[in-house]
Amino acid sequence: MATGTIRYWAAAKSAAGIAEEPYDAVNLAQALDAVRLRHPGELVRVLQRCSFLVDGAPVGTRGHETVRLAEGGTVEVLPPFAGG
């Protein structure tokens, strides 16, 4: 089990009501399951559209259960951004 920080951006930050919180999980799937339990409602819907960076590396299409989390690591939760 590793501990680190989950950072929320834009719509995810608004839905969570906080900018960041700790994780205590082995992989990204576990961390996100815990987030869904702590923040039922809008954040659960927002997470379906988000992309994720783990320690600066894009998760992309990898299964979240295959993305291991490091001690002291960071998960960035990035909703789709408008712009151009």
Tell me what the mean pLDDT of segment 18-36 comes to: 98
Inform me whether the pLDDT recorded for 66 exceeds 70.
yes
Q: What is the bridge-based pairing of β-strands 51-54 and 20-25?
A: unpaired
Residue 82: pLDDT band with limits 50, 70, 90: low
Inform me whether the pLDDT recorded for 67 exceeds 60.
yes
Task: Give yes or no for a contact between 50 and 12, defined as CB atoms under 8 angstroms apart.
Answer: yes
Q: Is the dihedral of CA 43, 25, 72, 64 positive or negative?
A: negative
Residue 81: pLDDT band with limits 50, 70, 90: confident
| C-alpha–C-alpha distance, residues 3 and 17, integer Å | 21
CB atoms inside a 10 Å sphere around CB 7: 17
Tell me what the mean pLDDT of segment 18-33 comes to: 98
Tell me what the mean pLDDT of segment 51-80 comes to: 97
Greatest Cα-to-Cα distance within the chain, rounded to the nearest angstrom: 39
Which pLDDT score is estimated for 83?
56
- Domains in the chain with CATH codes: 2-78 (3.10.20.30)
